[in-house]
């Protein structure tokens, strides 16, 4: 089922369809990302409107789905939300100011939700993947992808399953006492 996750009505319809087919939502993974034309440039170069567009769209892509399922999770005293910001939130790159700002805001929003929902048995955590070889990474040349691998202490690029494993752990009962945590799944590129 698909929906524009920045459109509240579309998300409500999608959640209703999911719940009719599968039952109430126990786990939500917020992994939507978009590349917007005005996204790239320094903060000094970006028009304020371009920065607002990128930050607000990415925040809406996380908060609208979360707001759609959290009331039910809170009422049932159980649930897990895993949000995938990006390593850009903690390790900004020159020319990626808008996405870095957006990802930092998403990470902060997830921590705020963890504080607010924790007393109701609902866990909110984040996983920050590094560059991952998916269909969305086809823009990167072989040389760029090789550079990603060279920067990682594990000396390889992430595959979708590498990130999915981290998400599955945080969503599972094995992480039942973990909330507000941030897990970096980037092969060691960004270390605290």
* DSSP letter, residue 41: B
Give which of 81, 41, 35 is closest to 58, Cα–Cα.
35
Q: What percent of the chain has pLDDT over 90?
A: 54
Predicted structure pTM score: 0.89
Query: pLDDT by residue (tens digit) across 24-76?
Result: 999 999 998 765 555 577 888 888 888 888 889 999 999 999 999 999 999 99
Q: Specify the higher pLDDT residue, 66 or 189.
A: 66
* Residue 40 tokens, joined: 């790239």
Domains in the chain: boundaries: 26-185
Q: Give the angle 64-8-97 at the CA atoms, nearest 5°.
A: 50
pLDDT single digits (tens) 107-126: 999 999 999 999 999 999 99
CATH number, span 26-185: 3.40.50.720
- What's the rounded Cα separation, in Å, for the pair 83 and 142? 29
């Amino acid at each position: 089922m698909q929906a524009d996750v920045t459109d509240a009505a579309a998300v409500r319809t999608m959640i209703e369809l999911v719940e009719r087919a599968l039952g109430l939502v126990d786990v939500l993974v917020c992994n939507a990302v978009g590349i917007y034309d005005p996204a790239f440039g320094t903060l000094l170069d970006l028009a304020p409107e371009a920065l607002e567009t990128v930050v607000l769209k990415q925040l809406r892509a996380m908060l609208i789905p979360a707001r759609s399922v959290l009331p039910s999770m809170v009422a049932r005293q159980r649930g897990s939300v895993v949000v995938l910001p990006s390593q850009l939130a903690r390790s900004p790159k020159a020319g990626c100011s808008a996405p870095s700002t957006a990802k930092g805001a998403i990470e902060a929003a997830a921590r705020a939700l963890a504080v607010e929902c924790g007393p109701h048995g609902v866990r909110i955590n984040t996983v920050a993947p590094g560059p991952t070889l998916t269909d969305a990474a086809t823009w990167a040349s072989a040389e760029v992808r090789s550079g990603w691998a060279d920067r990682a202490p594990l000396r390889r690029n992430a595959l979708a399953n590498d990130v999915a494993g981290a998400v599955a752990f945080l969503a599972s009962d094995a992480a039942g006492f973990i909330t507000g945590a941030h897990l970096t799944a980037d092969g060691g590129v960004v270390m605290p």
